[in-house]
């Protein structure tokens, strides 16, 4: 899609981080924006901020774990703007997991898979038929993670599992759409190239009451990108970060070319991918990779 002017973009998890940056970047290109989220404070904030930039937008409460909630958001978008041209299945959380897998709380598993995996599955069910029914080219963009899709970083097995599954689904969706000759372009967005400075490490702020644990905050002790930087420094690693606006710009540049891979890597990430491929081909025993190392 070359021209976003007048197009309608619906972004799940759009009130913060990468979704928020996408909303402003697409809005600046003349798109009309629908932000779906569950964080009331962030929703109020982005509604005011988008209005102050004169971006035509609607901010709706939309919980991606619920098909009904996504359907209501799709209906609201259609009522406001006549249809949807681009969907960003972007909502995601980090469960703050740590410790031994066999001691993990079912609540961590359930919450992370509900949002990261079922959020994408539900979004495909609700939005794909609507995108297919449009007369012109449409886009369905899934936010994945290289942690899961390409490499298995240690100590976040739930998140990694969710993103591995999400990538398998996204690639399959692309194959099906292509085989069907449909006019929907499917893309896989990988935020980066470094850890992106967003609210992901403080996802507990939107954790549902029934899935809360006894422990406040993340058991991992990482509740922000700054915590991550501190922990990396203890390992002797200087953690670089990426601003979410850079991710939005990279995504839009890829969408302009109808690219499947919305992906920017560092030489370090490329090395990790090469080592992983070599490990499989050579049947060598896996050794853990480090974040940003």
Ligand X SMILES: NC(=O)c1ccc[n+]([C@@H]2O[C@H](COP(=O)([O-])OP(=O)(O)OC[C@H]3O[C@@H](n4cnc5c(N)ncnc54)[C@H](O)[C@@H]3O)[C@@H](O)[C@H]2O)c1
Binding site for ligand X (CB under 6 A): 12-13, 15-19, 37-39, 42, 62-65, 90-93, 115, 143, 145, 191, 195-196, 198-200, 203, 206
- Name the minimum Å distance from CB 3 to ligand X: 26
- Name the minimum Å distance from CB 210 to ligand X: 13
Q: Is 159 a catalytic residue?
A: yes
CB of 3 or CB of 240, closer to ligand X: 240
CB of 43 or CB of 55, closer to ligand X: 43
- Name the minimum Å distance from CB 32 to ligand X: 20
CB of 90 or CB of 220, closer to ligand X: 90
**How far apart are alpha carbons 281 and 3 in whole angstroms?**
43
154 sits in which H/E element? none
User: What count of other Cβ atoms lies within 10 Å of the Cβ of residue 122?
Assistant: 22
Contact assessment for residue 99 and residue 218, using Cβ atoms and an 8 Å cutoff? no
Enumerate the H helices of the chain as residue ranges: 17-28, 40-52, 67-81, 106-112, 118-133, 146-149, 157-179, 225-234, 244-255, 267-282
CB of 103 or CB of 209, closer to ligand X: 209
- Name the minimum Å distance from CB 81 to ligand X: 20
CB of 18 or CB of 50, closer to ligand X: 18
**How far apart are alpha carbons 228 and 257 in whole angstroms?**
34
CB of 41 or CB of 176, closer to ligand X: 41
- Name the minimum Å distance from CB 273 to ligand X: 15
Contact assessment for residue 56 and residue 32, using Cβ atoms and an 8 Å cutoff? yes
Query: What six digits make up the tokens of 168?
Result: 């398998």
- Name the minimum Å distance from CB 231 to ligand X: 15
**How far apart are alpha carbons 244 and 125 in whole angstroms?**
27
Contact assessment for residue 191 and residue 247, using Cβ atoms and an 8 Å cutoff? yes
Give which of 272, 253, 271, 275 is closest to 262, Cα–Cα: 253
**How far apart are alpha carbons 188 and 173 in whole angstroms?**
10
Q: Which of 159, 196, 247, 250 is catalytic?
A: 159
Question: What is the b/e burial string over 198-224, where b = at least 16 CB atoms within 10 angstroms of the residue's CB?
Answer: bbbbbbbebbeeebebeeeebbbebbe
Q: Are strands 184-190 and 261-263 parallel, antiparallel or unpaired?
A: parallel
Residues carrying an active site annotation:
159
């Amino acid at each position: 899609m070359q021209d976003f002017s007048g197009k309608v973009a619906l972004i799940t998890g759009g009130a913060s981080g990468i979704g928020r940056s996408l909303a402003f970047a697409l809005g600046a290109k003349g798109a009309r924006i629908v932000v779906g989220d569950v964080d009331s404070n962030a929703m109020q904030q982005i509604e005011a901020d988008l209005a102050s930039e004169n971006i035509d937008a609607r901010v709706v409460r939309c919980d991606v774990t619920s098909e009904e909630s996504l359907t209501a958001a799709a209906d609201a978008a259609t009522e406001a703007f006549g249809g949807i041209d681009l969907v960003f299945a972007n909502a995601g959380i980090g469960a703050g997991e740590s410790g031994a897998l066999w001691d993990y709380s079912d609540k961590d598993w359930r919450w992370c898979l509900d949002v990261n995996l079922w959020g994408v599955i539900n979004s495909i069910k609700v939005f794909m038929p609507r995108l297919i029914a449009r007369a012109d080219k449409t886009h369905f963009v899934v936010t994945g993670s290289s942690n899961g899709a390409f490499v298995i970083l240690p100590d976040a097995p739930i998140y990694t599992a969710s993103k591995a599954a999400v990538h398998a689904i996204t690639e399959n969706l692309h194959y099906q759409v292509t085989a069907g000759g449909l006019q929907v372009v499917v893309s896989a967005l990988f935020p980066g190239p470094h850890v992106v400075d967003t609210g992901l490490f403080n996802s507990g702020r939107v954790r549902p009451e029934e899935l809360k644990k006894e422990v406040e905050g993340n058991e991992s002790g990482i509740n922000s990108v700054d915590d991550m930087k501190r922990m990396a420094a203890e390992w002797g690693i200087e953690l670089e970060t990426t601003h979410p606006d850079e991710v939005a710009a990279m995504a839009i540049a890829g969408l302009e070319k109808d690219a499947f891979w919305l992906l920017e890597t560092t030489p370090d990430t490329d090395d990790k991918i090469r080592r992983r491929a070599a490990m499989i081909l050579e049947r060598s025993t896996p050794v853990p990779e480090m974040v940003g190392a």
